[in-house]
Every structure is written in structure tokens, then in C-alpha cells.
């Protein structure tokens, strides 16, 4: 196994048929995303594919059952702003297609799925996805949000209040 820095020049000997990336949201600056997609493009075999799966960290509700002043909505919006302030935007689902095309990819396709937080959905597949997503939320969001708030706080803050 070979471990490399994904943002450095790739040194693989043979091109790939498939490059799969997942949940890299917030990992890179916009310039680094452009560089990464250029590396992917250069290192794919002719006819090769890139697949990227990202989720929007903000809470969206199609039926207005979650208010915009909900603490969950406010938290996700604050984390989203922190990413912008830190220059590691969390809008990857909104920008990755254009960034791929800028790198030279053609025939790009995009699929958007609902991803519930909690097992409230009637559809069995969405119910299970929501149950798993809820566990991801409760296990990871506090640390992720605190990390983002501390990283940004030195350069402008995002409005989080810590104990001290």
C-alpha cells in the first residue's frame, strides 16, 4: 500500500479506470479542489470515471416541519459559515460539478438524494438512511463543529460560545 498527500503531484505508474472520493467536504480550499480535480483528470485512463459523493451539512426541510430558528438549523448554518470564513467551504455539493468541468471532465452527471436525519421517513430505505445519519450526527457533529469554530475563531469567529 502506498500513502500519499492527495494534493501533491501524483506518482502512480499507471492511470486509473475509476477514482472514487467520498466525504471530503471542507477538506480543501477552492484552489486545492481545482488542483485535485486536475490531478484526477491527468491520472485517469481514457474513458475512465471519477465518482464523488458529498453531503450538504445544512439542514433542509421540504415540508416546513423544521423551523429556521431550530437549534439544529442554526448550528449547521454556523458551521457552514465557519467553513467559508476558514476558506474550506462546505458547499462542495454545489461546486464540484463546475470544478470537474474546469479540470477537463465532460459528460458529467449529478444525482441528488434526500438524506434524512432520524428515522422519521415512511420509505424503508430513507428510514434506514435516516437512522444511520442520525448516529453520524450525534457521534460526530459536536467535534466537527467545535474544530471548525476554534480554527476560525482566531481569524474572526463564527459566534460559538465555549466554556471557560
The pLDDT of 36-58, averaged and rounded, is: 94
- Exposed (0-12), middle (13-18) or buried (19+): which is 24, by Cβ within 10 Å? middle
Instruction: Give 164's pLDDT tier (boundaries 50, 70, 90).
Output: very low
pLDDT at 110 over 50: yes
pLDDT at 141 over 80: no
Instruction: Give 47's pLDDT tier (boundaries 50, 70, 90).
Output: very high
pLDDT at 159 over 70: no
Percent of the chain whose predicted confidence (pLDDT) is above 90: 46
| pLDDT value of position 158 | 53
DSSP codes, 80-105: HHHHHHTT--S-HHHHHHHHHHHHT-
Mean pLDDT of the chain: 86
pLDDT at 142 over 90: no
In this predicted model, which residue has the larger pLDDT, 4 or 74? 74
Amino acid at each position: 500500500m502506498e500513502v500519499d498527500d492527495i494534493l501533491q503531484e501524483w506518482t502512480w505508474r499507471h492511470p486509473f479506470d475509476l477514482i472514487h472520493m467520498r466525504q471530503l467536504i471542507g477538506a480543501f480550499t477552492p484552489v486545492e479542489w481545482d488542483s485535485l480535480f486536475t490531478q484526477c483528470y491527468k491520472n485517469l485512463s481514457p474513458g475512465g470515471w471519477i465518482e464523488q459523493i458529498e453531503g450538504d451539512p445544512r439542514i433542509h426541510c421540504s415540508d416546513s416541519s423544521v423551523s429556521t430558528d431550530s437549534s439544529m438549523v442554526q448550528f449547521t448554518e454556523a458551521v457552514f459559515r465557519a467553513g467559508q470564513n476558514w476558506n474550506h467551504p462546505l458547499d462542495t455539493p454545489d461546486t464540484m460539478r463546475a470544478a470537474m468541468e474546469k479540470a477537463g471532465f465532460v459528460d458529467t452527471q449529478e444525482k441528488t438524494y434526500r438524506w434524512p436525519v432520524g428515522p422519521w421517513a415512511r420509505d424503508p430505505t430513507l428510514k434506514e438512511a435516516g437512522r444511520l445519519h442520525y448516529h453520524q450526527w450525534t457521534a460526530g457533529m459536536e467535534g466537527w463543529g467545535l474544530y471548525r469554530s476554534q480554527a476560525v475563531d482566531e481569524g474572526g469567529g463564527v459566534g460559538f460560545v465555549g466554556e471557560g
